[in-house]
């Protein structure tokens, strides 16, 4: 997806937390990323990777040790939070317990000094947007978790921020409600046209909702791209491993041509693979193949790799074949169960694994 | 199945518990009962009467001491609560720094230093000031009471601030509230129960004080507790029981309210 005008740009942002002892923690390490206007952008990574720190720096709850944070080209890194046209949906919602639903939603506008009538009108509009008109005068303690989530969203959207920050807002909801809210969030983003920056550790959430995803680990952005980019074309081992299941094959580059490479695998076979973004065209490399991008075939026919079928696991919608490769290593293949019928292979069979050069990708590391 | 250890199943538990309750409450119950004695004695029951309540109510010395006590307690509790609120905000809304623990101890000093030591110290200092300035008014009592009330007001307020969800203040700031507005619209309304609880605790502590008051007071500055102490040195009538009973009621009412208010979740 092409990035339009930049809403938020992080330029060489580093954040070091100085603890009381001599040890300090580098939460963000020279991070640069551009987030477009009207984009649903997700920061994805395991807990403690720095994604929430980046969000807090954009919100203004913390200040970078080094680097700039630009909002529409202006550096806001040193502004206090109340001077930034950026609002946050907190993980625990942080609704004001001494105010009603309506007062919560109107708080931001009131603090901006908007006239009462305008605040009232906007609160009514926001309540309609999140379908909660009848709960305006309830206390926040008298509504359900899903409703609190909607109030938190309405409260953050009411002042029409340039950017909405969402800090794992769905993690406290149960599975069904989470699915509903994922759709709701996408709808709200389409209707308001506001840039959403969404923090999550849930890869599925990231893949289904985002326009683009930045995968973060240990304070560094490893890859930025569309969900399809990230899933189909992981650039590094961490991304391939963190998102979905993957087969890793180790080998050496024999030759390269037109973005493709011949790789001599440690297991003995030579395969064709495409070179990932920034992949080195020589020496020892790792190749990844998604289980659903390969198929199990008869060992007598055309096969990329040969092995023995060790295990078959039936999952309803699809079946996983675990193949022990000749020359060492394991390989998992996922077949979708298209129609009922006898399985073509049985445990213990000698089989082949087939995949093309476009399914095998050479990683950067 | 192995039972977990319970102190309640130990031999003698019931006996010891009952003994403690008797020792605690029997004297108080006796005191309250004899407040209604129609006779002159605090030990021989002669019949039911409200005469000692009436007598206490009409006793000018009791009236003056009561008014003084309430005035001092109100003043001390208000000032102490204000100071304690500031102190609690300053010590909780900050990143930890070396010396913070020392600061807690410093604020809570009156809880740790024996009251008699503080009383003697104040007596010595105040007597010097009295000599220099010639002033011997009620300000000494007000100052002393305010000082020892501060930790009692400070503790519930600080506890409330510590239990408060910090993201609420962050959310207010995120929604364009300046630090002052965030305090006024979010922190303070959520802190009120702690402040009121702190005030009531401070009020009761001041109302109840004997030791420091006895040392610091000038002539004619009896508070209710020091008046009662003085009376005990003379002829004891059930009037003292009546005063104590009313006192007890007020204290129990305040402490109960303190617990009710403090129990409300932030």
For chain A, the C-alpha Rg in angstroms (whole number) is: 25
Same domain, A206 and A274: no
Confidence check on the interface: ipTM exceeds 0.85, yes or no: no
> A198 lies in which domain range?
6-232
**Do the domain assignments include residue A34?**
yes
Nearest to B176 among A92, A98, A111 (CB): A111
Q: What distance in Å separates the CA atoms of residue A275 and residue A41, rounded to the nearest whole number?
A: 26
pLDDT digits (tens, 9 = 90+) for A99-114: 999 999 999 999 999 9
Q: What distance in Å separates the CA atoms of residue A298 and residue B223, rounded to the nearest whole number?
A: 102
Same domain, A301 and A357: yes
pLDDT digits (tens, 9 = 90+) for A266-303: 888 889 999 877 777 788 999 999 999 999 988 887 88
Same domain, A54 and A128: yes
pLDDT at A1 exceeding the cut of 50: no
pLDDT at A342 exceeding the cut of 60: no
Give the count of Cβ contacts less than 8 A between chain A and B.
64
> B96 lies in which domain range?
60-263
Contact (CB<8Å) A96/B168: yes
pLDDT at B37 exceeding the cut of 50: yes
**Do the domain assignments include residue B173?**
yes
For residue B186, what is the DSSP state? I
Q: What distance in Å separates the CA atoms of residue B13 and residue B36, rounded to the nearest whole number?
A: 35
For residue B185, what is the DSSP state? I
Total length of chain B: 266
Locate the chain A residue with the closest alpha carbon to B98.
A20
CATH of the domain at A12: 3.40.50.300
Which residues, in sequence order, are bridge partners of residue A216?
A221
Q: Which residues of B touch A107 (CB under 8 A)?
A: 172, 175, 177, 185
Q: What distance in Å separates the CA atoms of residue B183 and residue B180, rounded to the nearest whole number?
A: 5
For chain B, the C-alpha Rg in angstroms (whole number) is: 23
Instruction: Tell me how many domains chain A contains.
Output: 2
Q: What distance in Å separates the CA atoms of residue A80 and residue A75, rounded to the nearest whole number?
A: 12
Locate the chain A residue with the closest alpha carbon to B97.
A20
- pLDDT value of residue A220: 94
Min CA distance, A96 vs chain B (Å)? Answer: 7
CB contact A18 to B (< 8 Å): no
Interface of chain B against chain A, CB under 8 Å? 96, 165, 167-168, 170-179, 181-182, 185-186, 189-190, 266
Same domain, A276 and A194: no
pLDDT at A3 exceeding the cut of 70: no
- Report which of A62, A63, A68 is spatially closest to residue A33, judged by C-alpha positions: A68
pTM, two decimals, is: 0.81
**Do the domain assignments include residue B82?**
yes
Q: Which residues of A touch B182 (CB under 8 A)?
A: 82
Same domain, A211 and A268: no
Contact (CB<8Å) B174/A59: yes
Q: Which of B175, B186, B193 to mutate to test the interface with A (most CBs of A within 10 A)?
A: B175
pLDDT digits (tens, 9 = 90+) for A178-230: 888 888 899 889 888 999 999 999 998 999 999 999 999 999 999 999 999 99
- Mean pLDDT (chain A, rounded): 90
């Amino acid at each position: 997806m092409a990035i339009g005008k930049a809403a938020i740009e992080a330029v060489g942002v580093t954040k070091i937390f100085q603890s009381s002892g001599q040890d300090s923690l580098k939460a963000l390490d020279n991070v640069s990323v551009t987030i477009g206007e009207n984009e649903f952008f997700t920061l994805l990574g395991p807990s403690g990777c720095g994604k929430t720190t980046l969000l807090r720096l954009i919100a203004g709850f913390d200040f970078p040790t080094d680097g700039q944070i630009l909002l529409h080209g202006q550096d806001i890194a040193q502004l206090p939070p109340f001077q930034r046209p950026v609002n946050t949906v907190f993980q625990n919602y942080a609704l004001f317990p001494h105010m009603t639903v309506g007062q919560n939603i109107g708080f931001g506008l009131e603090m901006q000094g908007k006239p009462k009538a305008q605040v009232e009108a906007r609160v009514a509009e926001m309540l309609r947007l999140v379908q909660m008109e009848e709960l305006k005068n309830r206390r926040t303690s008298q509504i359900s978790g899903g409703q609190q989530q909607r109030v938190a969203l309405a409260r953050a959207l009411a002042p029409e921020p340039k950017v909405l920050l969402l800090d794992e807002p769905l993690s406290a909801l149960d599975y069904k409600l989470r699915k509903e809210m994922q759709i709701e969030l996408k709808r709200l983003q389409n209707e308001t046209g506001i840039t959403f920056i969404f923090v999550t550790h849930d890869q599925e959430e990231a893949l289904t909702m985002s326009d683009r995803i930045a995968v973060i680990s240990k304070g560094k952005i490893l890859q930025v791209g569309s969900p399809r980019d990230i899933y189909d074309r992981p650039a590094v081992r961490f991304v391939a491993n963190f998102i979905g299941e993957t087969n890793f094959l180790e080998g050496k580059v024999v030759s390269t041509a037109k973005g493709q490479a011949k790789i001599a695998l440690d297991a003995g076979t030579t395969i064709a693979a495409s070179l990932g973004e920034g992949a080195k065209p020589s020496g020892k490399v790792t190749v990844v193949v998604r289980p659903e991008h390969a198929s199990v075939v008869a060992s007598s026919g055309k096969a990329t790799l040969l092995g023995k079928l060790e295990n078959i696991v039936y999952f309803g919608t699809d079946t996983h074949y675990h193949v022990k490769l000749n020359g060492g290593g394991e390989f998992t293949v996922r077949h979708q169960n298209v129609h009922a019928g006898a399985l073509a292979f049985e445990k213990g069979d000698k089989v082949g694994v087939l995949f093309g050069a476009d399914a095998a990708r050479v990683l950067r590391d | 199945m192995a039972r977990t250890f319970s102190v309640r199943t130990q031999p003698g538990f019931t006996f010891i518990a009952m003994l403690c309750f008797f020792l605690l409450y029997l004297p108080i119950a006796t005191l309250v009962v004899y407040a209604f004695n129609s006779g002159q004695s605090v030990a021989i029951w002669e019949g039911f009467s409200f005469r000692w309540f009436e007598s206490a109510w009409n006793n000018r010395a009791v009236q003056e001491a009561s008014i003084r006590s309430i005035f001092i307690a109100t003043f001390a509790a208000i000032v102490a609560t204000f100071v304690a609120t500031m102190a609690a905000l300053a010590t909780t809304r900050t990143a930890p720094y070396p010396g913070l623990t020392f600061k807690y101890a410093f604020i809570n000093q009156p809880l740790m230093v024996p009251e008699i030591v503080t009383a003697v110290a104040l007596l010595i200092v105040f007597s010097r000031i009295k000599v220099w300035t010639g002033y011997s008014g009620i300000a000494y009592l007000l100052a002393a009471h305010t000082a020892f009330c501060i930790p009692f007001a400070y503790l519930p307020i600080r506890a409330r601030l510590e239990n408060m969800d910090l993201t609420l203040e962050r959310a207010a700031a995120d929604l364009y509230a300046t630090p002052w507005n965030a305090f006024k619209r979010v922190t303070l309304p959520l802190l009120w129960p702690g402040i009121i609880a702190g005030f009531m605790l401070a009020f009761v502590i001041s109302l109840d004080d004997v030791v420091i008051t006895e040392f610091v007071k000038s002539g004619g500055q009896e508070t209710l507790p020091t008046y009662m102490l003085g009376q005990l040195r003379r002829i004891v009538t059930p009037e003292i029981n009546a005063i104590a009973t009313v006192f007890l009621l007020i204290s129990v009412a305040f402490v109960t309210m303190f617990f009710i208010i403090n129990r409300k979740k932030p």
